[in-house]
Chains A and B, each alone.
Chain A
Amino acid sequence: MNSRSLQTTIIFLVVGGILALSLGGFFGSASRQFGSILIDTQTWLSSRFLGLQDFFTAPRDIVSLRTRNAELEAQVSQLQAQVIELQQRVNETEILAALVDFSRSNPESTYKAAAVIGHDPSPFLHYIIINRGSNDDIRRGMPVVTNQGLVGRVDAVIADAARVQLITDPASAVNVYLQNAETSAVTFGSVTGDISLDMISQNKTVESGDLILTSGLGGGYPSDLPIGQVVTIRTLEFKLFQQATVQPAVDFSRLEIVLVITNFRPVDITPLEPLPSP
């Protein structure tokens, strides 16, 4: 055996011995210590590297984050606007659904829906402006309602808009019928927008909560349209008639969509009224 073969044999024996010892668990503590030193070194190096990486790349990230933030904020405001628009549409749909129900339950009349687009500029008058006019066959005198009850009647018309006198207008008077008391009366508007009931016969007993409907007398409005309910009654013995305050069926402060009854033609009874004696 030459020296080279002997050297190789010794190396094999040493390596094999080390392997056998390590497999036998004799090098456990030494390998753990060695491993932990390696891991600590690598951790230290890695953390320093990440720190340096952050240091060099952070400004670029802030810029991109700010851009992204601005994009997301714009998206959020866009979505908020969409939510508001959709809520508005839901409200409109609910109102329209109620109006459709109303028109289905009152098939004797034909209706044209209109949106309220304005009010009279003067605080003395209670008028609204709707977005339907003579192009939609709206004519002067046509009654305007919601699913809750009578709103008023068309006072003036142009091609694409009309002005409606509300029953709360101080100059408005509506002939009505008190359902429970079975008597006629007249409602009047006021500067505050409240409705009062007058011309109730002293012989009739009117109670709070009595339903007030249009009587159709005078030909200005169709009959049986709800106006409201009696709230309080004022009876004075020295007066010819009883008076009452009315809770309107329609919420006039939140009028958005109304229905114009297009198949009703008001009757002008002026020629039939007696002339004042000279």
Chain B
Amino acid sequence: MRNIVAFPLLGLAVILQSAIVSQVKLISGYADLPLLMLAAWALQERVKSAWLWAVLVCLMIGFVSSMPWLVVAAGYLGVIFMAQILQRRVWQAPLLAMFSVIFMGTLFIHLLSFAVLRILGTPFAFADVIGLITLPSLLLNMLFSIPVYALMRDLAHWVYPLEEYE
């Protein structure tokens, strides 16, 4: 039942991403709010529902975006996978883990998007994609990762209170 909060929260995140965040551009890149929220959520020690959240995000983004489902699903689930691996290894420095997941996750999703769209026939130049989309998006994701991490940590404390967790 506690995961019900995922529906309004992720729905709001996708709406914000589509309506506002995608308008705040740095060159041609912009931040990925659902990615940030997923990564921050998956890095919380108490959270056990990160995969469920990722599936929800995949469904919502896949519905809104014209990006192939494969890219969306593989991208966000891959980010959860990275976050869970890092969470076990870098648990004493959560922000470092967050930065690492965001860095690798953004690169992973963008490379996957580039590869799949290129295979499907969209004429992209690799240098353009890296310089105009990926690096600016990476910078914005890094900038937003700190407040998003703080928000998700508070949410995790609210959804999974300490006494229950212990």
Contact = CB atoms under 8 A, between A and B. Distances in A.
Interface of A: 117-125, 127, 129, 155-156, 163, 165, 170-171, 188, 190-193
Nearest 6 CB-CB pairs, A to B? A118-B18, A119-B22, A171-B122, A121-B17, A122-B67, A118-B19
Nearest to B32: A121
Interface centre among A124, A171, A191 (most CB of B within 10 A): A124
Contacts of A117: 18-19
Given A191-B132, A192-B132, A124 B67 contact: yes
B28 A120 contact: no
Given A170-B123, A191-B129, A120 B64 contact: yes
A120 B22 CA distance: 7
Contacts of B123: 170, 188
Nearest to A156: B66
Contacts of A129: 18, 64
Interface of chain B, main secondary structure: helix
Given A124-B133, A191-B128, A192-B128, A119 B67 contact: no
B66 A127 contact: yes
B117 interface: yes
B133 A120 contact: no
Contacts of A163: 64, 66
Interface centre among A123, A190, A192 (most CB of B within 10 A): A123
B65 interface: yes
Contact of A121 (B25, B64, B121, B125): B64
Q: How large is the interface on B (under 10, 10 to 19, 20 to 34, 35 or more residues)?
A: 20 to 34
Interface string B11-40: 000110111001101011110101000000
A123 B30 contact: yes
A118 B128 contact: no
Given A129-B64, A191-B133, A192-B28, A122 B113 contact: yes
Nearest to B123: A170
A165 B125 CA distance: 20
Nearest to B14: A121
B66 A155 contact: yes
24 contacts: A117-B19, A119-B22, A119-B23, A120-B64, A120-B66, A121-B18, A121-B32, A121-B65, A123-B22, A123-B28, A123-B30, A123-B133, A123-B137, A124-B67, A124-B110, A124-B117, A124-B124, A170-B122, A171-B121, A191-B125, A191-B132, A192-B28, A192-B128, A192-B132
B100 to A, nearest CB: 22
Interface in B92-149: 110, 113-114, 117, 120-125, 128-129, 132-133, 137
A230 B118 CA distance: 28
B61 interface: yes
Nearest to A191: B128
A250 to B, nearest CB: 16
A125 B65 contact: yes
Given A129-B18, A191-B132, A121 B122 contact: no
A126 to B, nearest CB: 9
A136 to B, nearest CB: 19
Contacts of B120: 171
A48 to B, nearest CB: 61
A50 to B, nearest CB: 57
Contacts of A122: 65-67, 113
A36 B103 CA distance: 90
B113 A124 contact: yes
Contacts of A123: 22, 25, 28-30, 133, 137
A170 B65 contact: no
A34 B17 CA distance: 86
B113 A121 contact: no
B83 to A, nearest CB: 20
A121 B113 CA distance: 12
Contacts of A125: 65-67
A44 to B, nearest CB: 66
A193 B19 contact: no
